[in-house]
Chain A
Amino acid sequence: MSAPTEAAPTGPAQDAAGRTPDLLYSEAEDDLRSAVRSLLADRAGAPAVIAATESGTPYDPRLWESLATGIGAAGLLVPDELGGQGASHREAAVVLEELGRSVAPAPYLTSSVVATEILLALGASGGPVGELLGDLAAGRKVAVLALPFTASAADAATAMAGTLERTVAGVAEAAAADVLLVPTAAGLFAVAAAGEGVEVRPQVPLDLTRPLASVTLTGAGGTLLAGPGSAAAAVAKGLRAGAGLLASEQLGIAEWCLTETVRHTRERHQFNRPVGSFQALKHRMAQLWLEVVSARAAARNAADALASGSPDAPLAVAVAQAYCSKAAVHAAEECVQLHGGIGMTWEHPAHLYLKRAKADSLAYGTAGRHRETVAELMELPAP
């Protein structure tokens, strides 16, 4: 009658890679974190970020230069011989945690992760691909993929359609881009954003810290980087890396929201006691803490799987996105609620995190789409 309880998992339950992921942070990763954190503290405090979002150009070029070139964060994924730092997704994930904590506008995820990963996957060390990679790694240029921010790795194959004549709306950080990577039926093109026949029209985004734009190409010229077959695989890889490392940004958002909520409720007094001493609030913050701790494990697992090229990476990424999207949104929503009235103001930065968290939960595929991927990979089919 009794079911076997400790039966060894079989089939899809086995870790495909058979290796234990390293879920901790190395010393070098901690050092990188400190450098990025102090840079962001100097140049991207909340009042500065709020002011910048209303200025029309939210990016701070000096911040980007210090991050991309000074610290060398733009080239973390790129091997030394191609002009990068020869690090990995693990280090890039740490940079994204810090960018999530500050919600500073910076085209890191879109250019230094997604576009860079696409170019790396194309595998050419010379020619236009190698040259562009070198420019991205050094922080000389910014490139973004000309697809809606909601596109996920599963959309890569269908994205290889049409010609260079097109309008694509909802392209994240196109306004900061020097180069647009445009997937077409003929393959993947690099198009100069400032070139003839290219119009980048800003849209009004929910998340002001990550500008969106509508890109219209009419008779624009481009450089063909790869044919449709290899380009589809490369775009999928780029979007998967984007989704996997977005989990670390979401972790950073959730962490900031929890830290600030704890700080606020310890200081804020009502009924002659700190509001953080009420169990009704404490339990909600303890629950958030558990979600942050869990999000960290999921995000580190995804970063480590991407870094090691593990066959487990698609599952690790889908699990991380399915979990961390919700964790970040939950933390940001609780942050607003537990701050009370001040949390609803424009002056307090909580709204920046709520907007970033909510927008991120749609980016590179919703949690629901990633759960579909989990179901497929784990052989848990729908009826």
Chain B
Amino acid sequence: MSTALDAAEIRRRTRELLATHPPATTGRTDFLKARFDAGLAWVHYPAGLGGLDAPRSLQPVADAELAAAGAPDNDPRRIGIGLGMAAPTLLQYGTDEQKKRFLRPLWVGEEVWCQLFSEPGAGSDLAALGTRAVRDETGDWVVDGQKVWTSSAHLARWAILIARTDPDVPKHRGISYFVCDMTDPGVEVRPLRQITGEAEFNEVFLTGVRIPDSRRLGPVGDGWKVAQTTLMNERVSIGGARVPREGGMIGTVARTWRERPELRTHDLHQRLVALWVEAEVARLTGERLRQQLVAGQPGPEGSGMKLAFARLNQEISGLEVELLGDEGLLYDDWTMRRPELVDFTGRDAGYRYLRSKGNSIEGGTSEVLLNIVAERVLGLPAEPRTDKDVAWKDLAR
């Protein structure tokens, strides 16, 4: 049976799924499992693993049909790390057994994933990480160390973890990549409170955590290469949907400006309009990037978009605090909370101002991104490296 996998065929299969599992009478998880088994979860994945080996561009066909029929989705924002980072890495480096075990509950959302990469001593220089994984006589790995900035760690069943397995070779070569069970003894998750008062993230302390060798991804010592797959996919997720004019933070300030004439001053007006122009140009730049991706000519613009949005969010929210005058001196709530979803534009102006400070730090600092643009896009020479051929254990720290 060789039916060509075109849009019509995807639509036919989607309708068949909807007929056999009517969303109105099927439980949410049951429906999602059936969708996964029908290969309509991520059509570009292999058959049997939630996909149909179809072109990625056909996914929107299934999504549109399902949305129109009122089918439940897998709440992708809640399981973003699993979908965006763990899954592509499992797909590329996992054994058949690992893929079979992990991908279905990951996609359905039954098992949340988190990422144990950053450490207090390894931020921008992630490859300098010092969490140790030592193999014992049974062949299992025993892990000790501390990870930080881990979102969803308190909700997660699994983690992707990189740890140092050989301290005697230069830093990029002595790392291995594991799947860590967050319910194992020795895993301790503590909330990490931020300048906003809440704790989106966690610190994760690993003390004598045992990981069977069957949960290693990729060869021993090749973890840095495996991690590149993870990090690459983090960057690809930018630039999905069309953003409407005034769709971001600028919209909030513009509405306040229109509704509250008593707050207006000449200085704020100059700055507001200048930022409005920049926000509109950033939106158009994102739209152009999206069009390039659709046309199959991906450009390097993606690396620049995060830089632009970080700066704009910071400047716009800073302006907003000033615009609000007396109210700008207030803050909605300093109570320590643990939000499940990150919302950069949520809550009040003070929150936005503080939260946006993280935009130029998280997921690659603006300074590192400028280096990446300079070296990989413009082809400028790298800074001289003093750490390249030095064994990890001999690095300055």
Contacts and interface: CB of A to CB of B under 8 A. Distances in A.
B285 A293 contact: yes
A116 interface: no
B244 A13 contact: yes
User: For this complex, into which size category does the number of interface residues on chain B fall?
Assistant: 35 or more
A2 B346 contact: yes
B36 interface: no
A8 B308 contact: no
Contacts of A158: none
B281 A297 contact: yes
B288 A24 contact: yes
Contacts of B308: 290, 294
A266 B266 contact: no
Nearest to A277: B381
A255 to B, nearest CB: 12
Contacts of B278: 323
A375 to B, nearest CB: 5
Contact of A5 (B273, B346, B371, B382): B346
A22 B381 contact: no
Contacts of B301: 293
Contacts of B287: 20-21, 23, 297
A279 interface: yes
B348 A1 contact: yes
B264 interface: yes
Interface stretch (B180-188, B204-212, B217-225, B252-260): B252-260
A24 B379 CA distance: 24
Given A286-B370, A296-B288, A298-B284, A3 B247 contact: no
A237 interface: no
Contacts of A293: 285, 301, 304
Given A1-B333, A319-B280, A282 B370 contact: yes
B167 interface: no
Contacts of B273: 371-372, 374-375, 380
Nearest to B263: A383
A46 B343 CA distance: 51
A265 B244 contact: no
A13 B117 CA distance: 41
Contacts of B346: 2-3, 5
A323 to B, nearest CB: 5
Interface in B276-313: 276-278, 280-282, 284-285, 287-288, 291-292, 295, 297, 301, 304, 307-308
B276 A285 contact: no
A383 B264 contact: yes
B208 to A, nearest CB: 41
A38 interface: no
Given A285-B374, A286-B369, A298-B285, 10 more contacts: A3-B345, A3-B347, A3-B348, A276-B381, A283-B371, A286-B377, A290-B373, A294-B282, A382-B266, A383-B261
12 contacts: A2-B347, A3-B348, A13-B254, A20-B242, A282-B374, A282-B375, A286-B371, A286-B377, A293-B301, A380-B257, A381-B264, A383-B261
The 9 A-B pairs of least Cβ separation, nearest first, read A282-B374, A383-B264, A286-B373, A13-B246, A277-B381, A23-B288, A297-B284, A286-B370, A297-B285
